[in-house]
Amino acid sequence: MVFNLDALIRLLLLVGLGLACALILQPFAEIMLWAGLLAVILKPLQLWLQQHLRLGRWWSAGLIMLVGLLVLLGPVGALAAALLSNVSELVELVRHGKQVLPQPPPLLLGIPVLGPAIKPLWHGLISDLHGLLRSHSDTLTALMTRLLETTLAKGLGFLRLLVSLLLAAVMLVYSDALLLRLRRLLHRLSPEHAETVQLITATTVRNVSRGVVGVAFLQSLLIGLGLIAADVPWSGLLTLLALILCLMQIGPLPVVVVALVMAWSHLPPLMALLLTLWLLAATLLEHLLKPLLMARGLPVPMLVILVGVLGGTLKAGLAGLFLGPVVLSLGYHFVRLWVGASAQPSP
């Protein structure tokens, strides 16, 4: 074996150049990652607009960007404003020791035997809570202030998402050229499995976006709109918690239970009943849509995708929500090929 010093030097120079490029692009890595994910998710919509509405690449991408901006700046912006208001209100409640728990529901107090006994227990709990707030007001105020700072940081993340949406629209315009270069790169890495890797990656990202993110946003949006319309206290915080629980595959039921308790404490019975039916329908929505959207067109069980969603979210946050199932789906596919169980994804 002959040692080739020139080849080693060229390899080290290429590695150094690659690391330098990575360091320069690092501040934009998250934006570029989200732009790529959004472009993959929105590509079928662009094709549909081009085929059915006879729109060109620029017009279809511009229409998608406009609708995306309206969605982000409309209902989502209203929920974000409500969330900021709720966090500020909680800071003031903790700082001044005001009443946090609502009064007991009149229907509960009207029970012949239990009603008279519930009222003193309820007010005793409120008094104990007020004492706890007064004795630990400094610590709780610091926690609430940190929560407000975290909320503002999420607002900066929202701005990065807007920039990612604009960059994704540009990627949609030049998607054919970008896809051609990606195919050439995959063929250089693995000529036999290039098309399969590309198909599994794109299908997994789109299925997760529809079955996990889409359903989670739809559920939390319906829950938030119902809470805001019914004027339930802390609707912004409850909506954010519902979205987090939906993305973590826990479901919005804990938030719905808390919201219903508050609704039956504050609202007229008819309004509370209508809100109950609305929230229950939004809660059960995932059981209808998720099985239809998650594993369609993939040679991968839905359990693998769900584990990838949960593990990726715990390790890498919201970006891991997509990267986790993609990695597990590719690993599952290649393990099946390795053990001899061939499975080709449906087109």
**What pLDDT, on the 0 to 100 scale, is given for residue 20?**
92
Would residue 144 count as lying in a domain? yes
**What pLDDT, on the 0 to 100 scale, is given for residue 35?**
87
165/34 Cα distance (integer angstroms): 8
53/56 Cα distance (integer angstroms): 9
The CB density around residue 232, as the number of other CB atoms within 10 Å, is 22
Q: Measure the N-to-C terminal CA separation of the chain; round to a whole number of Å.
A: 46
Could you identify the residue written with the tokens 């594993």? 295
Would residue 100 count as lying in a domain? yes
The CB density around residue 328, as the number of other CB atoms within 10 Å, is 21
Q: What residue type is assigned to position 93 of the chain? A: L
Helix axes 175-189, 194-208, angle to 10 degrees: 130
Print the domain residue range for 159. Answer: 29-173
Would residue 124 count as lying in a domain? yes
Would residue 216 count as lying in a domain? no
Helix axes 215-229, 75-96, angle to 10 degrees: 60
CA separation, residue 318 to residues 167, 196, 321 (Å): 19, 25, 5
Would residue 222 count as lying in a domain? no
48/42 Cα distance (integer angstroms): 10
Would residue 18 count as lying in a domain? no
**What pLDDT, on the 0 to 100 scale, is given for residue 100?**
47
Query: In total, how many domains does the chain have?
Result: 1
Query: Is the CB of residue 151 less than 8 Å from the CB of residue 79?
Result: no
Would residue 305 count as lying in a domain? no
Q: What are phi and psi of 172, to 5 degrees?
A: -65, -35
252/224 Cα distance (integer angstroms): 11
Q: What are phi and psi of 92, to 5 degrees?
A: -65, -40
**What pLDDT, on the 0 to 100 scale, is given for residue 71?**
74
Would residue 137 count as lying in a domain? yes
Q: What is the residue-level pLDDT of the chain in tens, covering all 347 positions?
A: 455 777 888 888 989 998 998 899 888 888 888 888 888 888 888 888 888 888 888 888 888 888 888 877 766 666 666 666 666 666 565 555 544 445 555 655 556 555 666 666 565 555 555 555 555 555 555 655 665 555 555 556 667 778 888 898 889 888 888 888 888 888 887 777 778 888 888 888 888 888 777 888 888 888 988 888 888 877 777 887 888 888 777 888 888 888 888 888 778 888 888 989 999 988 888 777 777 777 676 777 878 888 888 888 888 777 787 888 888 888 888 888 788 655 454 44
**What pLDDT, on the 0 to 100 scale, is given for residue 193?**
77
